[in-house]
């Protein structure tokens, strides 16, 4: 059985480490890991992938095994991704990590993995619970979208409380906003949209939604939407809630193209804390973001993989909720946070 084979490799690696003269030779045991992502051009997913590549490489040293890592790009097609998973299983992968294209389609992958007895770690795109619970060897690593929504909402509530006039351009006591949503049906799009606005309402800010649309996490689609809204909407857009940073940057692009100065921009907030978004916070065009912990998610995926391949106990490697979920927290990032980090070291 696969777990036994990997365990044997782990034992062999441990033995070689204690025997004199047994360094990493041609006899170094090998394990295989397959990573399938929904779309490699996605900014946040490509950050996770880069961390995974680096961290699995570091694991080789640590565990004394060769790790054959394959990364496959599903190019937003579930059937392409299913074939990639088949190929990983044919190749004899010891664990597979899946950023599923269609989060309602996980049952097929769970069943294939179960038949091959290869554990599967889903990440970032959360399968429906029923599918994840089909087999004990299926797990999920991610961050709770509702928390991102709440933190994003709080960025706006805090700014409103500190200086309402700076946001309320029309002076009517109501915050007129637009919402740029991620992919329809994605848990983060649904939860961030709902909880950001709910936080404003419970925080005592009166709101009016002028427009909302899905821009599928993409900067160019968000810019296109924002262009249309700037032309069509008569009232001033006072705030832009974007479910992720790339879409927030798209909104900024459209506003600047329309001739707005930095001071005239609406209060724009995103999620992810990608490098270009942090630059925009520094430049004063983006008012804040929420860190989506790409590094932490990659670390958890690597730790869980290590455990599922028999190198460590799962309970020591990660903290599991309901025996299935590894949850990573979000953190709010304000301009003050970014500027304080930018201070030259040693001064
Ligand atoms: C979200 C992230 C988005 C996008 C999406 C892909 O968590 O905020 O930027 O990467 O995942 O599933």
**Annotated domain spans of the chain:** 2-143+293-328, 146-291
pLDDT tens-place string over residues 192-213: 999 999 999 999 999 999 999 9
Predicted confidence at residue 317, as pLDDT, reads 97
How far are the Cα atoms of 140, 223, 261 from residue 252, in angstroms, in the given order? 34, 8, 10
Q: Which regions in the chain score pLDDT beneath 50? A: 1, 4, 17-24, 345-347
Model pTM score: 0.92
pLDDT tens-place string over residues 232-269: 999 999 999 999 999 999 999 999 999 999 999 999 99
Q: Is 2-143+293-328's fold the same as 146-291's?
A: yes
Atom of ligand 1 nearest to the CA of 245: 9
In SS3 terms, 24-63 reads as CCCCCCEEEEEEEECCCCCHHHHHHHHHHHHHHHHHHHHH
Predicted confidence at residue 346, as pLDDT, reads 42
Of 3.40.50.300, 3.40.50.2300, 2.30.42.10, 3.30.565.10, the CATH number of 2-143+293-328 is: 3.40.50.2300
CA distance 260 to 266: 10
Ligand 1 centroid, distance to 272 Cα (angstroms): 8
Q: Are 121 and 320 in contact (CB under 8 A)?
A: no
Ligand 1 centroid, distance to 44 Cα (angstroms): 6
Q: Which fold has domain 146-291?
A: Rossmann fold (3.40.50)
Predicted confidence at residue 72, as pLDDT, reads 98
**What proportions of the chain, in percent to the nearest 5, are helix, strand and coil?**
50, 20, 35
Ligand 1 centroid, distance to 326 Cα (angstroms): 17
Nearest CA to ligand 1 atom 10: 44
Predicted confidence at residue 23, as pLDDT, reads 43
């Amino acid at each position: 059985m696969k777990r036994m084979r990997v365990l044997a490799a782990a034992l062999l690696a441990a033995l070689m480490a204690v025997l004199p003269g047994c360094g990493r030779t041609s006899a170094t045991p090998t394990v295989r890991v397959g990573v399938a992502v929904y779309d490699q051009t996605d900014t946040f997913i490509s950050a996770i992938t880069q961390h995974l590549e680096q961290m699995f490489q570091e694991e080789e040293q640590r565990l004394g095994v060769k790790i054959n890592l394959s990364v496959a790009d599903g190019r937003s097609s579930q059937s392409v991704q299913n074939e990639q998973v088949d190929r990983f299983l044919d190749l004899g992968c010891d664990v597979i990590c899946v950023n599923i294209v269609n989060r309602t389609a996980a049952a097929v992958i769970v069943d294939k993995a179960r038949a091959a007895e290869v554990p599967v770690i889903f990440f970032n795109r959360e399968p429906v619970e029923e599918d994840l619970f089909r087999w004990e060897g299926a797990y999920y690593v991610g961050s709770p979208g509702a928390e991102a929504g709440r933190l994003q909402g709080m960025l706006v509530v805090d700014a409103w409380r500190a200086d309402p006039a700076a946001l309320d351009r029309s002076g009517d006591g109501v915050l007129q906003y637009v919402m740029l949503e991620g992919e329809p049906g994605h848990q983060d799009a649904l939860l961030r949209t709902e909880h950001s606005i709910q936080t404003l309402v419970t925080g005592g800010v009166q709101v009016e939604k002028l427009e909302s649309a899905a821009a599928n996490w993409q900067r160019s689609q968000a810019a296109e939407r924002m262009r249309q809204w700037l032309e069509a909407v008569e009232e001033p857009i006072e705030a832009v809630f974007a479910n992720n940073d790339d879409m927030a940057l798209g909104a900024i692009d459209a506003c600047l193209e329309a001739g707005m100065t930095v001071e005239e921009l609406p209060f724009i907030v995103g999620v992810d804390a990608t490098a270009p978004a942090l630059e925009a916070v520094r430049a004063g065009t983006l008012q804040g973001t929420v860190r989506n912990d790409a590094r932490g998610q990659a670390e958890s995926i690597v730790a869980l993989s290590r455990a599922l391949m028999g190198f460590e106990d799962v309970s020591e490697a990660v903290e599991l909720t309901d025996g299935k979920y590894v949850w990573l927290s979000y953190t709010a990032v304000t301009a003050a946070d970014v500027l304080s980090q930018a201070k030259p070291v040693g001064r």
